[in-house]
């Protein structure tokens, strides 16, 4: 069964897929922000913003502390926006 090499989401995501760095108060250092597309989300995660589950197939955000990558946290995109982490330094 042939596999497609590239799959594109039905709706384009306006947020760039490029990972970027923010200050992360949880780890006390920098964290990398990654956008997870719905087709990449295959597990259920607990969102630290609202303490509700992020169900498989839900596009969301992952915050990966550079000094402690296993401590990465998965957020709903709107919860992450409200968290204030996703804001310019200063």
Residues in the site for Zn ion, rule: CB under 5 A?
47, 49-50, 76, 79
Shortest CB 63 distance to Zn ion, Å:
12
The nearer residue to Zn ion, 29 or 82, going by C-beta atoms, is 82
The nearer residue to Zn ion, 4 or 51, going by C-beta atoms, is 51
What's the burial of 55, exposed, middle or buried (CB within 10 Å: 0-12/13-18/19+)? exposed
How far, rounded to the nearest angstrom, does the alpha carbon of residue 75 sit from its chain's CA centroid?
6
The nearer residue to Zn ion, 49 or 65, going by C-beta atoms, is 49
Residue positions counted in the chain: 90
Q: What angle do CA 56, 60, 62 make, to 5 degrees?
A: 110
Shortest CB 29 distance to Zn ion, Å:
23
């Amino acid at each position: 069964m042939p596999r497609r090499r590239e799959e594109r989401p039905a709706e384009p995501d306006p947020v760039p897929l490029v990972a970027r760095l923010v200050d992360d108060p949880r780890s006390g250092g920098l964290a990398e922000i990654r956008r997870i597309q719905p087709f990449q989300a295959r597990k259920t995660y607990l969102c630290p913003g609202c303490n509700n589950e992020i169900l498989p197939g839900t596009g969301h955000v992952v915050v990966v502390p550079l000094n402690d990558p296993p401590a990465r946290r998965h957020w709903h995109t709107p919860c992450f926006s409200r968290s204030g982490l996703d804001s310019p330094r200063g």
